[in-house]
Amino acid sequence: MAINIPLMTNNITREDLDTLIEYLKQDIPRLTQGEQVAHFEKEWSSWLGVKHSIFVNSGSSANILTMSAIKHIYGEGEIIVPTLTWVSDISAVMFAGLKPVFVDINPRTLAMDEVEIIKKLSPKTKAVFLTHILGFNGLSDNLIDELKKRNIPLIEDVCESHGATHKGKKLGSYGIASNFSFYFAHHMSTIEGGMISTDDENLYEVCRMLRSHGMVRESRNEELKMKYKETYPDLNPQFIFAYPGYNMRSSELNAVIGRSQLKTLDLRNKTRVENCRLFYEKLDSTKYRTDFDFGGSVNYAFVLVLNEANDAFRDKVERALTDANVEYRRGTSGGGSQIRQPYVRNLIKDGMWEDFPLVDHVHFYGFYIGNYPDLEKDKILKLVELLNTI
């Protein structure tokens, strides 16, 4: 029986494209970063509930700029990172010359376990980089309070969790900075794109400069620009490079689509929540994990984790999904445990992954399947029926 569920259908709607076409009908429309980017940043900040946002060319770029800014502001040291996340979180820490310190997961949220985070905090810790996995809320009051007490910055990776909340407040508005991705498969898309959001004035200015080659003229702080001008009178004020920066700007075209997508994000998220509720209400809890913490979650995927470490049963699940033409990703977010990946092997001792059994279970016996607004309810029911009869 073919159910035919792709991982994602196209997030970009006809209305989004028509909006873009209207923009392009101008006599000579600006295409490179300009007013549309600024408008999108302002609207996104308002939606999220923060003061500032910086639109960049991808969520991975948002990670890189944020970690680079943390290094410039706080200096060398360690960053507490997840074992279950996307590669760019860990590589951004590495690119910045900071040391990743790995933490196992909380099976009910798939985010870092708060007890393990607190155990691994030290005087060397410069920040905690927490990923909200696949729409789940990874925060707790205890963690927030402990980091505040120790004056350790929290960075939120919300690339997979647009609109999810903790106690009614949107994820991405708790940390000193948060990163979002607008890739094809996520809650909303700008084709390619990402956002850094923050209430911290200093981090905002540093990220603005880093986004565009480290140029001081990108800052919105006139006092800061004057300080650089007076300190370096031998330089053209238009070309003072405060940091070894990047070119991670996006375009007006991406911003136009983002502004259009943002208008319907909350409505589309509501459908995702309804889909998720239906899926887990019907899923067999004797075979699959259904006790996730759904408080505040907005899942763009159905997370399917086997209760038992059973290779034969896992293989049957994979064959059944493949035969039914249901697209899936094994290991869930980022393909599973990042400490099993080649790029981190020189940072860890051999066999270190055995010290992280909870993420290892998801690595070998976890999947995700697409959940999106136009996924038909009867397909969700057929999918659950298929899984329950394996």
Q: What is the pLDDT of residues 81-110, one digit of tens each?
A: 999 999 999 999 999 999 999 999 999 999
The answer to whether residue 379 scores a pLDDT higher than 80 is yes
Q: Are 204 and 82 contained in the same domain?
A: yes
Domain of 351, CATH number, reads 3.90.1150.10
Model confidence at 184, in pLDDT bands (50, 70, 90)?
A: confident
For 240-271, what is each residue's pLDDT tens digit?
A: 999 999 999 999 999 999 999 999 999 999 99
> Cα separation of 175 and 148, whole Å?
10
User: What's the average model confidence in pLDDT over 10-37?
Assistant: 94
| C-alpha torsion sign, points 337, 338, 343, 345 | negative
Half-sphere exposure of 248 (CA within 13 A, CB side): 26
Average pLDDT over residues 129-136: 98
The pLDDT of residue 185: 82
pLDDT of residue 269: 97
Q: Are 336 and 15 in contact (CB under 8 A)?
A: no
Query: How many structural domains compose the chain?
Result: 2
- Mean pLDDT throughout 4-13? 90
Q: Which of 11-15, 125-129, 215-219 has the lowest mean pLDDT?
A: 11-15
Phi-psi region of 263 (alpha: psi -120 to 50; beta: other; left: phi over 0): alpha
Residues 248 and 309 both lie in one domain: no
Looking at the domain assignment, is residue 7 inside a domain?
no
- Assign residue 27 the CATH number of its domain: 3.40.640.10
- The pLDDT tens digits for 294-304 are 999 999 999 99
Instruction: State whether the Cα torsion 348-350-355-357 is positive or negative.
Output: positive
Q: In 167-188, which positions are buried (b, 16+ CB within 10 angstroms) versus exposed (e)?
A: eeebbbbbbbbbbbbbbebbbb
Q: At 114, which amino acid appears?
A: E
Closest CA to 103 of 90, 116, 115, 94: 116
Are the CB atoms for 191 and 213 separated by under 8 Å? no
- Residue pair 310/288 in contact (Cβ under 8 Å)? The answer is no
Looking at the fold, whether 210 and 307 belong to one and the same domain comes out as no
Average pLDDT over residues 5-19: 92
Confidence of residue 175 (pLDDT cuts 50, 70, 90): very high
d(CA 260, CA 272): 19
Which of 262, 295, 321 marks a domain boundary? 262
Same-domain pairing of 195 and 274 = no
Is pLDDT above 80 for 1?
no
Residue 274: which residues within 8 A CB-CB, separation 6 or more? none
3-state secondary structure 225-279: HHHHHHHCCCCCHHHCECCCCCECCCEHHHHHHHHHHHCCHHHHHHHHHHHHHHH
Instruction: Name the band, by pLDDT with cuts 50, 70 and 90, for residue 192.
Output: very high
In a domain, 257, yes or no: yes
* pLDDT at position 317 over 80: yes
The pLDDT > 90 percentage for the chain reads 96
Q: Are residues 231 and 344 in the same domain?
A: no
Report whether 138 contacts 294 (CB < 8 A).
Answer: no
CA distance 45 to 195: 10
Q: Which of 262, 278, 296 is the last residue of a domain?
A: 262
Question: pTM higher than 0.75, yes or no?
Answer: yes
CB atoms inside a 10 Å sphere around CB 314: 17
pLDDT-above-70 percentage for the chain: 100
Q: Which domain holds residue 180?
A: 14-262
User: Would strands 154-157 and 125-131 be described as parallel, antiparallel, or unpaired?
Assistant: parallel
Q: Is 129 a domain residue?
A: yes
Decide if 4 is inside a domain: no
Given a contact cutoff of 8 angstroms between Cβ atoms, the answer to whether 49 and 165 are in contact is no
